Amino acid sequence: MSGNAELLSRTLAGAKAEDRAALVAYLPAGFPTVDGGIEAVKAAFEGGADVVEVGLPHSDPVLDGPVIQTADDIALNKNHVRIADVLRTVREAHAASGKPVLVMTYWNPVDRYGAERFAEELAEAGGAGCILPDLPVEESEVWREAAEQRGLATVFVVAPSSRDERLARITAAGSGFVYAASLMGVTGTRESVGDQAADLVRRTRATTDLPVCVGLGVSNAVQAAEVASFADGVIVGSAFVKRILDADGDLPAALDGVRTLAAELAEGVRKR
Amino acid sequence: MPETPAAAQDFFHPDPDGSVPTPAGYFGAFGGKFIPEALVAAVDEVAVEYDKAKSDPAFAAELNDLMVNYAGRPSALTEVPRFAREAGGARVFLKREDLNHTGSHKINNVLGQTLLTKRMGKTRVIAETGAGQHGVATATACALFGLDCTIYMGEIDTQRQALNVARMRMLGAEVVAVTSGSRTLKDAINEAFRDWVANVDRTHYLFGTVAGPHPFPALVRDFHRVIGVEARRQLLERAGRLPDAAVACVGGGSNAMGLFHAFLPDGAVRLIGCEPAGHGVATGEHAATLTEGEPGILHGSRSYVLQDDEGQITEPYSISAGLDYPGVGPEHSFLKDSGRAEYRAVTDDEAMQALRLLSRTEGIIPAIESAHALAGALQVGRELGPDGLVLVNLSGRGDKDMDTAARYFGLYDATAEVDEDNEVAVK
């Protein structure tokens, strides 16, 4: 069975055809519970997310700030989330929404599980691709081959510190879209998105026709609209996780928080 | 430029064999560079600057000057005959890295990387620390060169190594107690990476061991190679021959690699790394990464890692904060798989016994980390017998561990006496 890389590309092209940016949400699997996490992804889609990245929690999330660290900790140490649970999250969220679902995680869990096996099972679950932010392009060949054979996109991250020749190399290897980090730092909400993002998007576009989506620090509709003015997609993670944390165990309230935030952001990405 | 000391070129010994690691940072199947894109430029800059420095006589001259006139190199080689009576009669020599300024081998790497920091024009240094030895050395060098310094240390380690926290603060460093995960060395490294990603423009991450992404495993090794180069020369002068075994403790593995590397071509010299077995590897409460781990990626390179079946890193345990780490430098993994080095696990109790034995027979209180090597040396000496010659890296001094040792041996109770079986008897 082939993965849904095509669906991802079609979805992003569809947003572009509507002259708007796409809304990409990030939610960790296994949080606040495994079943609650599945409902949260569905709620994000219901609220208006075009794409969801499902986080596969890791014990050592070195690129994540305190909010996602807390979620990962709950998923792993309280709910004992397993890769099978992550794949079920992808399967059920995709089946319910018909929309593209990616997995975002660190390289060691995939490497340990087996790149081939993980790609096979992710494709089988209806996944659209994978984002592995600590797997640089130089080390990525094994994964990319496994992913490409199974119709999965490999989304690479670029950063404000990436020089132009590196951008070209990264975007040539990637597929689906390019994840442009708006700033130098870990995940988490920020007061402002910063002026490095627009420049990075411009430099990235000079190297590729892939859509360029911007993440890190975006948490509200105003920021979403600002980013939507220069990017093909807006990625929001910690702000969703924070809504679930703030609900303090009340799942209906958490899902309502996710749905409401997605709706606000969906409005934002249409106000470019 | 400082005046070149008489022993010029004697203290900086980058590996003369340019084939390992490969340009991509591989030692066989291990190593590499698994880092986020945001750090690629900074890590590449370190590699480029180090390559330039290696061939710059001014760099070697400045480092040599610091090694002699600041750190106190060369470090002594001490024969310990009273201790060796418990080692099957084999001769035992200690390489006294505990006598370096700041009290451990860590200063070798720190001075080298601090000079690199200056060359790169960076004004802020961050580092992780477990036992606090690397943190103290880093805070020291930052005081010397007027650099801003932030040290990340697991909260548990700030408690069990409180003396070193005070030393770092006295030296002007900010010490951040890390409360995530197992609150030990692994989590301190995670937090240091998070800082580095956000502040990379002006900040150098002064990595403290032979792990991490390329070029750190090779670079840190090169700055510590002086340990083995000196010890080899000193032992040939004093004993007239090479040792049968060179023994060192292994957490991340920097002091062991520093000792081992100069002996790699000496095929008859066994290289023996002693990992922390904690309460015993069978209990699951240990940090014996090479003994019990499997290949995986942690902190930027592929190496042996303590992990579960789905790649989640498992929480390590050791009485020694400096060895309490679920990873290990990739070159150690390479040496293990090639068979050139061998690794064994030493329990908390064995290490503490060796700590007390050295204290009472030779008047040298070792760090708990180094005591793991001493315990290993006792085993190896007994295996070799009376004709054996064992070289041990005494990587650090034990002052910082006195609280842990006092609790372990009941020394805070004035009425308590510790008998030879380590039983605490209260009169």
8 A C-beta contact, residue B12 and residue B71: no
* Helix-helix angle B216-239:B37-54, to 10 degrees: 40
| Average pLDDT of the residues of chain B | 94
Minimal CA–CA distance to A220: which of A234, A205, A199, A200? A234
Between A188 and B204, whose confidence is greater? Answer: B204
What region, left, alpha or beta, does residue B224 occupy, with left being phi > 0 and alpha being psi -120 to 50 degrees?
Answer: alpha
Would you call B106 a catalytic residue per the annotation?
A: yes
Asked whether the predicted pLDDT for residue B422 surpasses 70, the reply is: no
8 A C-beta contact, residue B298 and residue B265: no
Would you call B359 a catalytic residue per the annotation?
A: no
Chain B residues touching A86 at Cβ < 8 A: none
Cα dihedral across residues B194, A238, A73, B295: positive or negative: negative
* Residue B68: predicted pLDDT: 96
Q: What is the dihedral of CA B50, B60, B123, A215, to 10 degrees?
A: 10
B305 to A108: CB separation less than 8 angstroms, yes or no: yes
Chain B residues touching A30 at Cβ < 8 A: none
- Model confidence at B231, in pLDDT bands (50, 70, 90)? very high
Asked whether the predicted pLDDT for residue A163 surpasses 70, the reply is: yes
Least confident residue range of A33-37, B73-77, B197-201, B217-221: B197-201
| Average pLDDT of the residues of chain A | 96
* Helix-helix angle B57-66:B106-119, to 10 degrees: 140
Report the share of chain B in percent with pLDDT over 90.
92
A108 to B298: CB separation less than 8 angstroms, yes or no: yes
User: In the predicted model, what is the mean pLDDT of residues B86-108?
Assistant: 97
Q: Tell me which residues of chain B, numbers 199 to 238, contact chain A at a CB-CB cutoff of 8 Å.
A: 199-201
- Model confidence at B415, in pLDDT bands (50, 70, 90)? low
Q: What is the dihedral of CA B205, A186, A166, B120, to 10 degrees?
A: -20
B36 to A134: CB separation less than 8 angstroms, yes or no: yes
Asked whether the predicted pLDDT for residue B424 surpasses 90, the reply is: no
Asked whether the predicted pLDDT for residue B9 surpasses 70, the reply is: no
User: In the predicted model, what is the mean pLDDT of residues B370-382?
Assistant: 98
* Residue A1: predicted pLDDT: 66
What predicted TM-score, i.e. pTM, was given to this entire model?
0.95
What H or E segment, with its residue span, contains residue A130?
Answer: strand A129-131
Amino acid at B299: H
Q: Count the Cβ atoms, other than its own, within 10 Å of residue A74.
A: 19
Nearest by CB to residue A161, choosing from B32, B38, B300, is B38
- As given in the structure block, the two tokens for residue B130 are 């477990």
B37 to A108: CB separation less than 8 angstroms, yes or no: no
Domain B77-102+217-418 = CATH 3.40.50.1100: yes
* Helix-helix angle B216-239:B106-119, to 10 degrees: 140
8 A C-beta contact, residue B296 and residue B325: no
* Residue B10: predicted pLDDT: 84
User: In the predicted model, what is the mean pLDDT of residues B158-167?
Assistant: 94
Matching residue, tokens 């009485």 = B319
8 A C-beta contact, residue B173 and residue B150: yes
Examine residue B386 and say whether the peptide bond preceding it is cis (omega within 30 degrees of 0): no
Report the share of chain A in percent with pLDDT over 70.
100
User: In the predicted model, what is the mean pLDDT of residues A61-80?
Assistant: 95
For chain A, helix (H) and strand (E) counts, in that order, are 12, 8
| ipTM for the whole complex | 0.95
A112 to B296: CB separation less than 8 angstroms, yes or no: yes
Would you call B331 a catalytic residue per the annotation?
A: no
**Domains located in chain A, CATH noted:** 5-268 (3.20.20.70)
Matching residue, tokens 């409401």 = A260
- Model confidence at B27, in pLDDT bands (50, 70, 90)? very high
- Model confidence at B419, in pLDDT bands (50, 70, 90)? low
Which listed residue (A39, A50, A64, A92) is catalytic? A64
The reply to whether B23 touches chain A by the CB within 8 Å rule is no
Asked whether the predicted pLDDT for residue B426 surpasses 80, the reply is: no
Of chain B, the end-to-end C-alpha distance in Å amounts to 62
User: In the predicted model, what is the mean pLDDT of residues B165-176?
Assistant: 98
The reply to whether B33 touches chain A by the CB within 8 Å rule is yes
User: In the predicted model, what is the mean pLDDT of residues A159-175?
Assistant: 97
Nearest by CB to residue A158, choosing from B37, B201, B314, is B37
* Residue B425: predicted pLDDT: 46
- Model confidence at B416, in pLDDT bands (50, 70, 90)? low
- Model confidence at B8, in pLDDT bands (50, 70, 90)? very low
* Residue A228: predicted pLDDT: 97
What H or E segment, with its residue span, contains residue B397?
Answer: none
> CA B324, CA B322: separation in Å to the nearest integer?
6
- Model confidence at B237, in pLDDT bands (50, 70, 90)? very high
